[in-house]
Structure 1
């Protein structure tokens, strides 16, 4: 008979953004009971009534709490961008999504042979040279990247989506057991999410096996993303002597980036004078491009996950079936698998 697993209670609680005190109050239990139930070696099994309370509050099925140990993720290895601004609840919920991603990744690997990891360690390189080296390694040349999510997946990086409704969790990445993972917040604009994917790729190659937190590290990842998405030689080849904002808008569609990302990159690459840069920034701000773009870009999603789910569905293994097999709510799975807007019930 399966035993109650404290690590699973903790995961469900953190995914719902609850402290132990909050869970105790909502479940009608004492704080001491919750503390005891989350200890590595729980001394006594929760009653059926207590489990029913956990199901009611946390919206996870009862069987979830009796599975195998949940693989942990060391927060120090996760590339959170705004760690100082994040609450402990936000950090715990985001890491919880990563733990669910590990479970789903293992599930897929039971059925399919997925692309092997194809990354190089570029620690010690400048962001510009690292971006160029990785493009060369992947034989991308200087062409625009059609789909960042698919590019990462083709090279063995596990990519999942997030539904964290907070600006503090843009995206994050980490290494685990020799595998690389990236989680992208689907609440962001398509251009921002694409840039986030390149940013996290920068962390994976520049800061392998542990991402020291800090502003300098984030600047490096941003500079890598900018150089990776918009190669310097292409920016300079545009040769706009008197660049207008409308001309910049045309160019941004070539690289599928935001207006401000392109303006910044043009200045960084030496294609704009300080005066030109300031004028473009002022005009772009006046026209509202800090909040929205001139055209809505289609959001990138995982092509591999789509293929895997289609193949499983052919055998009758639909998302609700996977939900029951893993005892993970359908809503959690849909949020992880780029299935936005699907039902959120268990």
Structure 2
């Protein structure tokens, strides 16, 4: 597979912040922060009001800015939602992100509170990224058409998913062969990739999502996909397709999902390169070898064979049935990403590690963000295979 470079990080000057008291927070209360914290906690206004012994209308007024909670209510909100009281103060950078600016693969099957919780998580990923960028220089964003949260209007040629996948391969200089470390490649080009820390049942409903409406493009993957390295890589490539093709397109349309799938297939397995290696008849031994070589599932390779006319539709259908039967017998079992360090998001963890090596403490960063320290640990995860880092002297 093609070797990719590690993202390069450079140290900048750390900055300190101070936490206000409850009365000060009331005077500078930011309604959007309450909405964010409530959604992250997965609570409705009714559920929160029951715990506070106030009406749902009162919570609605807090969130709309019509009224402010008293200091004692504010402290209770902080306790219920698991944040410091300073979290609710205005004045910190906040990502104006909503579901209309985010591509969810399963938007129609998701419940509203799950979508809102995932969007709130994405906003916090950006906040952490922004705080780290005040200390560490992350890789510059290298995504065609992207500039500071906006994507230039696509031409007719550039919205062709196959053509766009080929063009991105050329732009990134990854050649025509297999891509060894897809997530590492994306991070090295300035794309923030994060793992959703929700329970698997909820994460399964969300699947994966992405947005270009932040100062850095963001892709969020889910732990249920991480159980299968090949589905996981395809999900990452699918979201990369959204970043390239659909920055100014409203999410949720089945056509744009198909376009992202077509982009992913071509980006991971370029037709000109994979076609000569695909079998002209169903041969699972050959497909198993290609699965490992190219980092895509046998299922995807069978679909590619059908797509390129190597198999008829009935032959492909029988092959899918045989594959499902063999998987039911324990063959071609799923492989976790745990054995593939290059596919685990590490950019934020490495940036945090570099910052802490040069004077920034976890407590300082938590105070600046007004988060509990465990929240930072949750978002950065545990980075593996740290690269050689460079300091700005």
1:108 aligned onto 2:127: no
The equivalent of 1:49 in structure 2 is: 72
How far is the alpha carbon of 1:200 from its aligned partner?
0.9
Does the 8 A contact of 2:349 with 2:382 survive in 1?
no
- Quick one: structure 1 residues 239 and 245, their matched pair in 2 at CA, closer, same or farther if it must change by over 3 Å? closer
Alpha-carbon distance in 1 for matches of 2:330, 2:47: 35
Helix, strand or coil at the partner of 1:168:
helix
Of 348, 351, 365, 1:308 maps to: 351
The alignment's TM-score, normalised by the length of structure 1, stands at: 0.89
| Stretch of structure 1 that moved more, 70-79 or 197-206 | 70-79
Does the 8 A contact of 1:258 with 1:293 survive in 2?
no
What 5-or-longer segments of structure 1 have no aligned partner? Answer: 341-346
Does the 8 A contact of 1:252 with 1:262 survive in 2?
yes
How far is the alpha carbon of 1:27 from its aligned partner?
2.6
Calculate the aligned-residue CA RMSD, in Å. Answer: 2.4
The equivalent of 2:54 in structure 1 is: 29
The equivalent of 1:344 in structure 2 is: none
How far is the alpha carbon of 1:153 from its aligned partner?
1.5
The equivalent of 1:329 in structure 2 is: 372
Of 32, 35, 57, 1:7 maps to: 32
Alpha-carbon distance in 2 for matches of 1:267, 1:327: 53
1:233 aligned onto 2:272: yes
1:72 aligned onto 2:72: no
The equivalent of 1:156 in structure 2 is: 190
1:130 aligned onto 2:164: yes
Q: Deviations over 1:67-114 (max 9, x none)?
A: 426331132221111111111101110110111012111111101222
Q: Deviations over 1:220-251 (max 9, x none)?
A: 10111111111112321214243322321221
Alpha-carbon distance in 2 for matches of 1:277, 1:289: 18
Helix, strand or coil at the partner of 2:132:
helix
Alpha-carbon distance in 1 for matches of 2:382, 2:155: 35
Alpha-carbon distance in 2 for matches of 1:237, 1:43: 67
- Quick one: structure 1 residues 329 and 110, their matched pair in 2 at CA, closer, same or farther if it must change by over 3 Å? same
Helix, strand or coil at the partner of 1:37:
helix
1:277 aligned onto 2:349: no
- Quick one: structure 1 residues 303 and 31, their matched pair in 2 at CA, closer, same or farther if it must change by over 3 Å? closer
Alpha-carbon distance in 1 for matches of 2:86, 2:130: 19
| Stretch of structure 1 that moved more, 160-169 or 199-208 | 160-169
| Stretch of structure 1 that moved more, 123-132 or 2-11 | 123-132
The equivalent of 1:99 in structure 2 is: 123
How far is the alpha carbon of 1:126 from its aligned partner?
2.1
Alpha-carbon distance in 2 for matches of 1:87, 1:290: 34
Helix, strand or coil at the partner of 1:68:
coil
Q: Considering Cα pairs closer than 8 Å and 6+ residues apart, tell me whether 1 or 2 has the greater RCO.
A: 2
Alpha-carbon distance in 1 for matches of 2:119, 2:377: 17
Q: Deviations over 1:105-152 (max 9, x none)?
A: 111110122222212245533222211111111111112112111111
The equivalent of 1:206 in structure 2 is: 245
Does the 8 A contact of 1:123 with 1:208 survive in 2?
no
Does the 8 A contact of 1:186 with 1:193 survive in 2?
no
What 5-or-longer segments of structure 2 have no aligned partner? Answer: 1-23, 146-153, 384-393
Alpha-carbon distance in 2 for matches of 1:266, 1:27: 59
The equivalent of 1:172 in structure 2 is: 209
Does the 8 A contact of 2:305 with 2:311 survive in 1?
yes
